[in-house]
Structure 1
Amino acid sequence: MRTGAGAGHTGYLHEAICYDSDEHLLDVVVPFLLGGVAAGEPTMVSFGPRNAALVQDALPAGCPVMFLAGGEVYARPAGAIRAYRTLLGEHVDAGAGQIRIVGELLPEHFGACWDWWARYESAINHAYDEFPLWSMCAYDARSTPSHVLADAHRTHPFTARPLGEHAANSEYTDPETFLLENRPEIADPLQQRPPAADVLGPPPDEARQVVRAVGEGRIGDARIDDLTLAVSEIVANAHRYGRAPVRMRVWAADGRVVVTVADTGRGPKDPYAGLLPATSENSAGFGLWIAHQVCDHVSMQRGTDGFTIRLTVGS
């Protein structure tokens, strides 16, 4: 049985909190959490250290709210989806009629990697919709960039406000539309210089060798293995599902390697490709999903001249 704003709601109820003071945040979050506890629902917080402490201090002593390690959960979008789906499934299997979570992305997510976190916020409207989940995602309006707040309204059907108000977001865009749009891509500083390798039409095994030769000594052996696996999958996808010519370029500096793979096709039709596991290993989505698991950033751009994936490992 669902309670609060979730009463009568089927599937995922996804809300944003765009707060302008600590009091504003607590006025929304504390009643939300206490309502879940009173109803006997699994109730969780996935905040960074500052806001986690703020909420913990505002709750009654011994309040059985679970505090998750937000920094670990939000390491990569595809990993966060996988972890949350596992967690939600366990609670449903244990009989939960509704699950409440309040979480936040951290300021470091709002920089050069925001494009894939914006895709995450959109994709979870579908990825979690099989669960009786009611979640709130907190954004500090005092410090969050304006374009991030704009995406928050486009990816959350509702905004939660004090006094139990839940306002529909008129800017909300369904995931099937949002995810196929080009997100603004911030140029990587390494790409301002000529690439260390520029290869036309490499087969996957050659692509792996080139990336390993350029990247060795720049990042650790385990990260090179991750990157060469991802590159192999993406190059194979470009040959199999894209359109020739396929072009791979590689840039490297100490601690960081960037690879782009471009073809003249339109890119994957599946809007969730990379963020959700592919239904078959014989699909473009399988390689994209692997890349999203092992790289530190994956961006995708569709243009009139084709489709480009950028893979980044290191910082």
Structure 2
Amino acid sequence: MRTGAGAGHTGYLHEAVCYDSDEHLLAVVVPFLLGGVEAGEPTLVSFGARNAALVRDALPAGCPVTFLPGGDVYARPAGAIRSYRDLLARQVAAGAGQIRIVGELGREVLGDTWDWWARYESAINHAYDDFPLWSMCAYDTRSAPAHVLADVLRTHPRTAGPGGRHTVNDEYTDPETFLLENRPEVADPLQWHPPAVDVLDAPAEEARRIVRAAGEGRVGGARLDDLTLAVSEIVANAVRYGRPSTRLRVWAADGRVVVSVADTGAGPKDPFAGLLPAASEHSAGFGLWITHQVCDHVSLQRTPEGFTVRMTVKHETG
């Protein structure tokens, strides 16, 4: 049985909390969590250390709210979707009639890598709709850039505010539209300089060799292995499903390697390609799914001239 704003709702209830003070955040989040506890629902928080501490201090002592390690959950969008779907499936199997989660993305992802997190926020409207989930995504309007907040409104069907306000969001755009839009690409700093490699129509095996040679000594061996796997998959996709010619470019510096693969086709028709598992390893989306699992950032760009996948890997951090 669903409770609160989720009463009578089927599937995923996805709300944004755009707050401008600690008091504003707590005025929305604490009643949400306490309502879940009172209803006997699994009630979880996935915040960074600062806001998690704020919420802990505001809750009654011993309140049975589960705090997730937010930094681990939000390493990569596709990984976050996989982890949350596993968590939600376990809760439903245990008998949950509704699950409440409040979470936030780290401030570091609101910059140059926001594009794939915007895609995440849009895609989960579909990815979590199999579950009786009610979640709130918190964004601090004092630090989030204006374009991020604009995307937040376009990817959340509802907003939540103090005093139990739950408002239908007129700016919401369905994922099938949002995910296929041409989003302006933010140039990686390495792309301010000419690429170390710029070749046409290199087959997958040659692309692997080129990327490995360019990245040798720049990032760790495991990260370079991940990148060469990703590049191989994307080049194979471009040849198999795109249109000629295929252009491979590589930028490399100590600690970072960026690779782009472009063809003149329209890109995958599936708006969720990369973020949700492909039907099989032989389907068009499998290569993008692998790439989203192993790279530190993946950017997709659709233009009248074609489709480009940009992949970035960095040194491992200890």
- Common fold: TM-score over 0.5: yes
Residue number in structure 2 paired with 1:39: 39
2:219 corresponds to 1:214: no
SS of alignment partner, residue 284 of structure 1: coil
- One-letter identity of the residue aligned with 1:290: I
* Stretches (4+) displaced over 4 A: none
Deviation at 1:314, TM superposition (A): 1.0
Whether the 8 Å CA contact 1:14–1:158 is kept in 2: the answer is yes
What's the offset of the Cα at 1:281? Answer: 1.2
1:103-151 CA-to-partner distances (Å, cap 9, x unmatched) read 0011101100000000000000000000000000000111111111110
* Mapping of residues 264-283 of structure 1, within 5 Å: 264-283=264-283
* Distance in 2 separating the partners of 1:108 and 1:123: 21
List runs of 5+ in structure 2 lacking aligned partners: none
CA RMSD for the aligned pairs? Answer: 0.7
Which structure 1 residue ranges, 5 or more long, are not aligned? none
Q: How does 1:170-189 map to 2 (within 5 A)?
A: 170-189=170-189
Q: Return the TM-score normalized by structure 1.
A: 0.99
Matched, 1:48 2:38: no
Residue aligning to 2:253:
253
Stretch moving more, 192-201 or 223-232: 192-201
Q: What number of residue pairs does the alignment pair up?
A: 315
Any residues of structure 2 matched to 1:151-300 within 5 Å, and which? 151-300=151-300
1:85-109 deviations in whole A, cap 9, x for unaligned? 0000000000000000000011101
SS of the residue 2:285 aligns to: helix
Shift of 1:184: 2.4
Query: 295-304 or 187-196, which moves further after superposition?
Result: 187-196
Helix, strand or coil for the counterpart of 2:17? strand
- C-alpha distance in structure 1 between counterparts of 2:7 and 2:262, whole Å: 47
Aligned partners of 1:226 and 1:295 also within 8 Å: yes
Cα deviation, residue 245, structure 1: 0.6
> TM-score normalised to the size of structure 2?
0.98
Distance in 2 separating the partners of 1:107 and 1:184:
20
The match for 2:121 is 121
Alignment identity in percent? 79
The one-letter amino acid paired with 1:67 is F
In the alignment, does 2:150 pair up with 1:150? yes
Matching residue of 2:29: 29
Matches within 5 A, 1:69-80: 69-80=69-80
Give how far 1:196 is off: 1.1
Matching residue's letter, 2:212: R
